[in-house]
């Protein structure tokens, strides 16, 4: 069974409610350019950031401006990647990935979100061991796609696992093999509904009804913060359609 379930639909719902979605996407493009250069053909992180921006209907002009900013064209903005780990109500493990120009502000906001939701912000490593860091690619099932051919091509390109779920095919890779698998599938013309490095929980957990409201408040508060790029948790409901 796939480990991400309806992750494509869930992410679409998350993204649609984020007021600062373009701000987040712009930051991810800027950082990708600064770290790997402005050519997406040779910069997998930038290609992924551009793909996400296009999937969110971000105008091409915005994407180009972000690339120029990352290249140092009229921008003195400097963003830092920082991650936080903690536990929400009911003992749910939570990972938070941020891109920020003010670490003190972001740390304060993240800590406040955990505290208000009856959770606790932990130290590095306190919750991360409960997740696997890997690449995930999703191809939506269409009549024109031969499942066996897709599976063979994905595995031959370096994928570690292939799972056929209802309506989609999920392909898992090691972080180091992600770019080559992605490029191989794109070269074969497969439409990717999702292609990114992510953290997947090793196990999922349910929580009591009394904790659900605060858990949702924690996730919503974090996801609505412009500095927060991604939020991962071990909560069962976080990985199902809502």
Q: Mean pLDDT per 10-residue run, the chain (242 residues)?
A: 58 56 91 91 88 88 92 76 96 97 97 97 95 95 93 97 93 94 94 91 95 96 94 88 40
Same-fold call for 7-70 versus 80-129+202-234: no
Encoded tokens for 129 = 């061991």
Encoded tokens for 72 = 């140092």
Fold of the domain built from segment(s) 7-70: Arc Repressor Mutant, subunit A (1.10.10)
Per-residue model confidence (pLDDT) at position 16 = 53
Other CB atoms within a 10 A radius of the CB of residue 41 amount to: 9
Per-residue model confidence (pLDDT) at position 166 = 85
Domain ranges for the chain, please list them.
Answer: 7-70, 80-129+202-234, 131-201
DSSP state of 219: H
pTM score, whole prediction:
0.83
DSSP state of 205: B
Q: Where are the alpha helices (DSSP H) in the chain?
A: 7-17, 21-36, 44-55, 60-70, 103-116, 147-157, 178-187, 209-223
- Using an 8 Å Cβ cutoff, are 140 and 191 in contact? yes
Q: Indicate the class that CATH gives domain 80-129+202-234.
A: alpha beta
Give the Cα separation of 163 and 152 in Å (integer). Answer: 12
Vertex 94: Cα angle to 225 and 221 (nearest 5): 25
Instruction: Name the CATH superfamily housing domain 131-201.
Output: YebC, transcriptional regulation domain (3.30.70.980)
Encoded tokens for 70 = 């990352």
Per-residue model confidence (pLDDT) at position 19 = 44
Give the Cα separation of 240 and 148 in Å (integer). Answer: 27
């Amino acid at each position: 069974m796939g480990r991400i379930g309806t992750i494509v639909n869930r992410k679409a719902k998350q993204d649609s409610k984020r007021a600062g979605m373009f701000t987040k996407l712009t930051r991810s493009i800027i950082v990708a350019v600064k770290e790997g250069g402005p050519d997406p053909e040779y910069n997998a992180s930038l290609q992924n950031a551009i793909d996400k921006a296009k999937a969110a209907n971000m105008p091409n002009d915005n994407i180009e401006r972000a690339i120029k900013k990352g290249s140092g064209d009229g921008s003195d903005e400097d963003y830092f990647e920082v991650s936080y780990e903690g536990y929400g109500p009911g003992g749910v493990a939570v990972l938070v990935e941020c891109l920020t120009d003010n670490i003190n502000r972001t740390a304060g906001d993240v800590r406040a979100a955990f505290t208000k939701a009856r959770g606790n912000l932990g130290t590095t490593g306190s919750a991360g061991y409960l997740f696997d860091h890997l690449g995930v690619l999703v191809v939506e099932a269409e009549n024109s796609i031969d499942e066996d051919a897709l599976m063979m091509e994905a595995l031959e390109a370096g994928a570690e696992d292939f799972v056929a779920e209802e309506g989609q095919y999920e392909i898992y890779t090691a972080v180091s093999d992600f770019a080559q698998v992605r490029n191989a599938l794109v070269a074969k013309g497969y439409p990717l509904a999702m292609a990114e490095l992510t953290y997947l929980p090793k196990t999922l957990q349910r929580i009591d009804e009394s904790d659900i409201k605060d858990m949702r408040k924690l996730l919503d508060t974090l996801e609505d913060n412009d500095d927060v790029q991604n939020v991962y948790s071990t909560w069962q409901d976080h990985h199902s359609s809502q």
